[in-house]
Structure 1
């Protein structure tokens, strides 16, 4: 059964729920039942051996859990003689038997169904007389990993979540990232480490602070498995949405990962892995979402811990918390002396330029650039994400830059690399093909300036190229045609500035301020001076400006000829009306 057929089958359960459930509540039933059937199928083959082992160890007075887990061949188990197929053999006791079956799972699985608040749905279905029919429907579908791979299962969950989010007017894009975008990000964080990652039995850690259903972690694992089947990737994450967290945890269980590495809660206010550092990280934080709910905790951490905490460099405006996730990931990097880290994060255009000199955003950019942490920024096409059509950018950040990247930042314009989707999904109308992903990865790997079809697609800059000084230009306050001179204190004897004539200029960091002032300001306002006490340093990354290609206007003769044609047509039409 392919992914589309499987999703359609599971979606057909909605037909049973219609009338008793609002459309926006379908997911509360379908998602946990899908997870339950998946776990049920995974444990099916070892069921007899597990029950035998459980009974034997109980008879011996030994705690059976570790032995049962080993026999199950998974990091979870179920010691009930029931399964979903036997459950439907007793319609009269479906409710009690389903509870019994759920309670026989190992603790990590029980936690998954608590996050789903599954017991409330069982009661609701039982009251509506639907519990048996829904259970029977799911018992009919085979979700064994031999039939439905982990990759396919992940796609199924994402499609279902997207559909439910649309029905309830939620933002589907908050839950997951398009798979091809994740593949690109995984390529970018791994490509420079191919030699290391190909070593036998290498072990690395990867972390996603906005894990969703675990798509980023899963694709990273698939990449490593393809390149080195003997490599081991330990996955860590944190997720705020209970249903997404439950799905992510179930996926990690089936993959044999330590599910205690997946934390629940708000990453910004309650770091689920406070003392842990990672080799690799990936994140797609929500775009343009305010952080007012966690403002108190974030500001307290900055005030009490400063640079020893996560938010020392600065705080962005409350209307967009995405740069807080950037700082969070930087705080999770292994020290360079211990091997360092690399991560990829998806951000919208705002973090590139929002905020003037010494604003929170500018200070965060300053910290990243002056500490030589930014390797590259890749500009993606618009209409790539399910919940927004805006421009998005992948930042690649590392504290172990290779020698040829030190002191440099690569900008890659991939906005023209896309193909149209056969069918739009929400705001997503475009996708990256395998060829596009390869081209972008190759441009990053080569780390050289490049043009395609006469347009620049890769440019290299020094870190300092993005810095500037904001100077304050003053002009004298005049009275009766004469400058006003201060009479008291520090102002005594000094020409006083006119606040109404005050202006500012941004001077690139690599330019001499006085020389710039003599060249660009004094010829226009000879009586001006710089108030050096007000000079500020800022950083911005004007991405699009660096890829702008001037298109000369058409010749005036051609424009004039077109206008004459249009005027002629209008006059002819007016003549017809008058006639």
Structure 2
């Protein structure tokens, strides 16, 4: 039987193991709790196979002589090129020999796991593998599972499957499990075509100097695909470059896979932190990085981080990570962007490529947390480019996405400017959909987008703006209160929309009889107030003071507060352009909240000139107060690339309607 070496075949084979062995003992959405750790375990077992005997012999010869044997065993655990693997297992067991003692397989596999180096044991602990072993043993499935993983055609050794391809297999398995358990979109990994585009955008124009060290970071690293892509890109152009990868992941199982993948690739696995939230538990708080790349979760509630994040924002301000502002609790994408910007080098260049949905571009009005964060980004000239991607690129969602390219050191021609690239049509349909992923960005499209980015000139799909073009001043336009007043049955019904009047007939008593009595008493008082107001008559008044005197006289018997009287008058009023202005004690017109409006005035435009041309022309007595003005920033991407399409002629539309109507009538016959 031939060894499986095709990625899809291997992932399909492993998925088949789950379906054939775990059905009954586990629900389908629980398969990953077993399959992911055992796939990692099988990969470790295959990688260690070459030097297994030397490690075991060395351990047996020295275990009673040397207390700190770890360095010796690490030196013995090597690949076929003699390179140290960075981990070992000193047990005589492996996936093959475990099957030779079926009666003691649970004890033996526990000893086998315990015999790994500490870095591997930490990974397996995050899978909670011992709990799964006990459950499998109890269901009499443990032996069968290991036997299936030991099938001769499942070749997970480095000879058959490269570390890169093994990472792809992990991602494919996670995708299948995510579909089964209805995981949220983009939960753990990003499609390879998107990663490739983001990686190339990150390194556009970057010269890599031999012998230097570059630090790459992903604050929501998932299985580590983006980090690996960055290293491959750098080392391909400069093999002598030393690239160090850092990341943090919140999901324990995905964190374990990422760390295992890094360990098998010879990376410093301890630089992958977790499992914990980057927002509330930054485990790389003192680190700065040359390059950052990430696909933070879309629209995820950050309630679990709220207390710590809010405290940091309030106490540390701009000395912390979140000084610019806090977005609404339902979406933390802008928190991740702030976090990544805080990781830029203080004395040196840093670049960021981060993908989000459309929400961070425009959600939040002037003065909101989202707008203030955007304001801070633009005022500090961090945003270099924004690229709109096609929809249906991700496995679990069809939403449109955007790549942000940010840096703290722009080239002279880009200073103070932002390049918008509309790449929404740069895709090819897939012959077979993978979940919600029906589109892919081809290498040709990636090259086209990169060339467009480099060219930095405007065209049909490219716009270049100054930072200020995205900003606006939001002013509050006030108009004077002009009311007429009248007591009519219709206007009296408006009193029930005034909370204090409505509460007259409500009771908080828990005693039913008392409650009914108090409510009846309140209703009688409401009717009495209405009857008293009717004594004013139904004359129409246009002066507040005159009508106020009438109302006070009518309601004098009820001992009501001035605020109650004021609200009664307002409920009996309607706007009237011919009425007198309602004024305050200083004789200034009061603003009518019902006529209050707002205007967004571009920062590049003079506020007074705009107000005169766009407001006073229509309402000569309107005004605004400077102290209420708010500065906001938003990116209306679709608006910038909107192309007007002539609507179809009415005759053509009418003909279509008649045709459909005739077809319906024919069907009804």
- What's the TM-score bracket when you normalise by the shorter of the two chains? over 0.9
| Change over 3 Å in CA distance of 1:119–1:471 after alignment to 2 | same
1:134 corresponding residue in structure 2: 145
2:85 to 74, 82, 85: 74
Q: Which residue does the alignment assign to 2:612? A: 518
Structure 2 distance, partners of 1:430, 1:121, is 37
Looking at structure 2, the residues matched to 109 and 566 of structure 1 have their Cα atoms a distance apart, in angstroms, of 68
1:23 aligns with 2:28: yes
Say whether the 8 Å CA contact 2:186–2:298 is kept in structure 1.
Answer: no
Give the CA RMSD over aligned residues. Answer: 2.0
Partner of 1:102: 113
Corresponding residue of 1:203: 213
Q: 1:381 maps to what in 2?
A: 390
Q: Where do 1:77-476 residues align within 5 Å? A: 77-140=88-151, 141-171=154-184, 173-193=186-206, 195=207, 197=208, 199-264=209-274, 265-335=276-346, 337=347, 339-450=348-459, 456-476=460-480
Q: Secondary structure at the match of 2:604?
A: coil
- Flag the 1:576–1:134 CA change in 2: closer, same or farther, 3 A: closer
CA contact (8 A) 1:280 1:341 kept: yes
CA shift in 2, pair 1:573/1:11, >3 Å: closer
Shift of 1:145: 1.7
CA distance in 2, matches of 1:340, 1:123: 51
CA gap 1:447/1:572 in 2 versus in 1, 3 angstroms: closer
**Aligned counterparts of 2:664 and 2:183: Cα–Cα separation in 1:** 51
Distance 2:292 2:54 in 1: 39
**2:651 is the counterpart of 1:560:** yes
Change in 2 beyond 3 A, CA 1:524/1:165 = same
Query: How far did residue 258 of structure 1 move?
Result: 1.5
Q: Deviation at 1:493?
A: 4.5
Aligned CA distance change for structure 1 residues 572 and 410 (closer, same or farther; 3 Å): closer
**Deviation of residue 89 (structure 1)?**
2.3
Where does structure 2 lack aligned partners over 5 or more consecutive residues? Answer: 78-83, 483-541, 544-578
1:85 Cα deviation from its structure 2 partner: 1.7
Aligned to 2:8: 4
Q: Summarize deviations over 1:508-540 as a string: whole Å, max 9, x none.
A: 001000111111111111111222121111000
**Which of 599, 613, 616 in structure 2 is aligned with 1:505?**
599
Q: How far is the alpha carbon of 1:575 from its aligned partner?
A: 10
**Contact between 1:166 and 1:172, CA under 8 Å: does it hold in 2?**
no
Seen in structure 2, the aligned counterparts of structure 1 residues 370 and 131 have a Cα distance that, compared at 3 Å, is same
Distance (Å, rounded) in 2 between the aligned partners of 1:403 and 1:317: 35
Q: CA deviation at 1:261?
A: 0.9
Instruction: Tell whether the 8 Å contact from 1:162 to 1:172 is kept in structure 2 after alignment.
Output: no
Equivalent residue of 1:499, what SS? coil
Three-state SS of the structure 2 residue aligned to 1:204 is: strand
Report the 3-state secondary structure (helix = DSSP H, G, I; strand = E; otherwise coil) of the residue aligned with 1:394.
strand
Task: Trace 1:544-559 onto structure 2 (pairs within 5 A).
Answer: 544-554=638-648, 556=649, 559=650
241-250 vs 68-77, which moves further: 68-77
SS of residue matched to 1:137: helix
Q: Identify if the C-alpha distance between structure 1 residues 276 and 565 changes in structure 2 by more than 3 Å, giving closer, same or farther.
A: closer
Relative to 1, partners in 2 of residues 1:512 and 1:251: Cα closer, same or farther, differing over 3 Å?
A: same
Which structure has the larger Rg? 2
Aligned partner of residue 20 in structure 1, secondary structure: coil
1:486 aligns with 2:490: no
Whole-Å separation in 2 of the counterparts to 1:508 and 1:101: 67
**Structure 1, unaligned stretches of length 5 or more?**
451-455
CA distance in 2, matches of 1:386, 1:565: 38
> Counterparts of 1:525-536 in structure 2 under 5 Å?
525-536=619-630
Counterpart Cα distance in 2 of 1:289 and 1:576? 48
For residues 309 and 663 of structure 2, the distance between their equivalents in structure 1, rounded to whole angstroms, comes to 69
Secondary structure, in 3 states, of the residue corresponding to 2:477?
strand
Answer whether contact 1:115 1:246 (CA < 8 A) is retained.
yes
- 1:41 is matched with 46
**Alpha carbons of structure 1 residues 115 and 477: separation in structure 2 relative to 1, 3 Å:** same
* Separation in 1, partners of 2:614, 2:28: 63
Number of the residue aligned with 1:63 = 68
Deviation at 1:55?
4.3
Q: Secondary structure at the match of 1:548?
A: coil
Following superposition, the deviation at residue 67 of structure 1 comes to: 2.4
* 3-state SS of 2:349 partner: coil
Going from structure 1 to structure 2, the CA distance change for 1:254 and 1:172 (only over 3 Å counts) comes to farther
SS in structure 2 at match of 1:191: coil
Alpha-carbon contact 2:56-2:92 (below 8 Å) kept:
yes
Q: Deviations over 1:75-112 (max 9, x none)?
A: 11111222212222222222222111111111110011
Q: For residue 453 of structure 1, what is the aligned residue in structure 2?
A: none
Distance in 2, matches of 1:280 and 1:520, equals 46
